[in-house]
Chains A and B, each alone.
Chain A
Amino acid sequence: MDLPPIVIGYLQGSFLERTRPFCLLLDADYRLIGSWGEGDWSGIGALPVGEDVRDSVPFLVGTDLGERQAFDFMELPSGAIASVHVVPSHGECYVVLLDVHGDHAAIQTRQQSVNESLLMQARQQRLISRQRELIGELVETKSALDHHRREAERVSENKSRFIAMMSHEFRTPLSSIINYGELALEKDSSENDVRKYVETMSRSARHLADLVEAVLDDASLDAGQTELVNAEFDLFRLLDDIGAMMAPMAAEKGLSFVIRLDDDVPSRVHADEIRLRQILINLLGNAVKFTVEGSVELLVAYNEGRLVITISDTGPGISLENQERVFRAFERGTQKRAKGAGLGLSITLQLVKLMGGEVSLDSAPGEGCTVSVHLPAVPGAMDREEQVSALPTPSRVMHAEKPTSVLICDDDDDVIALVEHYLHRSGYGLISSNDAGEAIDKALKYDPDLVLMDCNLPGVGGVAAARRLREQGYAKPIVALTASRLTSAEQDVFSCFFRKPAPMNDLLSEIKRLTHSL
């Protein structure tokens, strides 16, 4: 270096004064040969010549003395900061330690500040990410809340419509029943008057029962509690029944009523017969109800595993804005004066969906209405001819020669009295009980030809009682007569079941059928 000797001397003096060099000379086995300088600042104590110094100078462990090395900043166990230089020379090695604590402190302050700033940035980044996540969650929560609010509004709207409907549709027949009942009890009513009053009361009660049934059906569908009971049945017979039911209603209004059947419709299908019947009655009933003149037509086709049911009428039609509303519960479109709960189409839509099908509506004001229903239905295993040949021949039908006995179990004495009245009039022998346990005992003791069982009984319920009877060997028909809904497993316990209020004529026919087939 081309500097004046005096400057070089000055710099050397300054450097040596500042760094206080401490120099060790070691052999290849880390044994001390000699040392120079003042080492107190380094915390390395006195080192004996000829000894391995690695215990006292631990950074030498793993350090190759045969290679020139420099470690800029090394904090020793004593806390001293050294710049360490390893300088091999002729099989020996100088290890020089320079005190650099001043430089170290300055660099550490700078580095610390940089690192803290980087940490801060990382923390900010995390906060921003978290903030984004929270905003996302907030948006989702708001969307869920909006959905729940809309749902609550829908429920509230339904409730309001339900209350409005209740106040009119329920009060009208109730008022008729109450008032005509009071009239019938008046002393000066003639026998003819009483008969007329009771007929009106009966009609009103039936209408009320239909309303209650519709409301309960809708609630059950809404709550997802409706179970389908799929089985093979005679579709042609069902359509005959529907025709027999609807044709007189249409004729009464001067309407023509036609059922058309495509050739490829299977006579027997596998589906829920009761629900299909309900759908057809709802749709055809509406068509007949709202059509003033012209016709109502039911077309049934079969396409790719689906029944295609099309009901067309020449009624007043439904405007586009009302088409969605008519499928909502307690809505009656523009036909405010029409009788009914406004549930028929809502129930129909829910049933069709439950059965895996779709409903579509094509209508315009003044142009009638066409409702199409597509329902999955597997063709039945037996064709119509086989099914006809499988029907019992007259010679197989047995007639009872002794009075048929029926055991009735119901905790309501009025129901027992009513059923007893009808059965007694039809010549049945009767046993009755208010208690399921007692009914089991009587059934096993007297072996009646049929048991008619309420289900919602105190203590042992009707379903449990029927199961117990079966377990104890009672093999004759057990019929449920209940106001409760039965699950399909519960229905299987009984030969058949009737929902209260059951039409007495239907109940009697079924009892007759079941007891005659014994």
Chain B
Amino acid sequence: MTAISSKICIVGDFAVGKTSVVERFVNNHFSDKYLSTVGVKIDTREIELADIGVLHKLVIWDVAGSESFGDKEFAYLRGAAGYIFVADGTRPMTLGSAVKLQSQIVDRFGNTPAVILVNKRDMTHEWSASDERLAKLQEQFDSVYRTSAKTGEEVGSAMARLSRLIINKEVRAQ
């Protein structure tokens, strides 16, 4: 099995659940307590893509929440093979932030595999991301997922999808 390592960055507005998504993905754990990320947090997890014989190690850069990037944030993003954008389904404004961040990344680094996670799906009463709005996101991102870091809904699928996109791109580039 071929081992491949890739740097991926997880970005989005503050308090959308980026660190919780990573915590769910890496340690299968969730905490209700909000802890703001300062700078960047590094974690890793391997995904086995058995059908193509690849053991894919994702080095995840969990970047502090921001609605737009400056030089300091771009330093964190440099060299990333893919991006996880996270928005909060109970705060529609954060969808706008994700779109804006994605546009900044494309301007700076060109097209890179990117999926968006519209998180906090478990908060059904406060959910306000309309289906129409989410359908529109399909035009800007490779995939759109309605996720819950709390229940784990769709988190693994989204990560696996990004992994597959990165490997496919690398294979095409070789």
Contacts and interface: CB of A to CB of B under 8 A. Distances in A.
Contact of B40 (A54, A73, A111, A126): A73
A62 B81 contact: yes
Interface in B37-86: 37-44, 57, 59, 61, 64-65, 72, 75-76, 78-81
A115 B36 contact: yes
Given A63-B79, A72-B72, A115 B65 contact: yes
B5 A108 contact: no
Contact of B7 (A62, A74, A76, A77): A62
Interface string A57-87: 0110111100001111111110001000000
A76 B35 contact: no
Interface in B17-46: 34-44
Nearest to B36: A112
Given A107-B38, A112-B35, A122 B91 contact: yes
Nearest to B35: A112
Given A61-B5, A118-B14, A122-B91, A73 B39 contact: yes
A112 B33 CA distance: 12
A77 B42 contact: yes
A312 B118 CA distance: 74
A384 interface: no
A385 interface: no
- Which of B35, B38, B43, B78 has the most chain A CB atoms inside 10 A of its CB? B38
Interface string B1-15: 000011100000011
Interface size class of B (residues with CB under 8 A): 20 to 34
A512 interface: no
Contacts of A63: 7, 78-79
A139 to B, nearest CB: 22
- Which of A73, A81, A126 has the most chain B CB atoms inside 10 A of its CB? A73
Contacts of A164: none
Contacts of B15: 115, 118-119
Given A72-B72, A115-B14, A118-B14, A61 B7 contact: yes
Interface string B117-135: 0000000001000000000
Interface in A70-128: 70-77, 81, 104, 107-108, 111-112, 115-116, 118-119, 122, 126
Given A74-B40, A118-B15, 5 more contacts: A61-B6, A63-B7, A69-B78, A111-B64, A119-B34
Interface of A: 54, 58-59, 61-64, 69-77, 81, 104, 107-108, 111-112, 115-116, 118-119, 122, 126
Q: Which 7 A-B pairs have the closest CB atoms?
A: A73-B39, A62-B7, A62-B79, A75-B41, A112-B36, A61-B59, A58-B59
21 contacts: A58-B42, A62-B78, A62-B81, A63-B78, A70-B75, A71-B40, A73-B40, A75-B42, A81-B39, A104-B38, A104-B39, A108-B36, A108-B38, A112-B34, A115-B15, A115-B34, A115-B65, A116-B34, A119-B15, A122-B93, A126-B126
Interface of B: 5-7, 14-15, 34-44, 57, 59, 61, 64-65, 72, 75-76, 78-81, 91, 93, 126
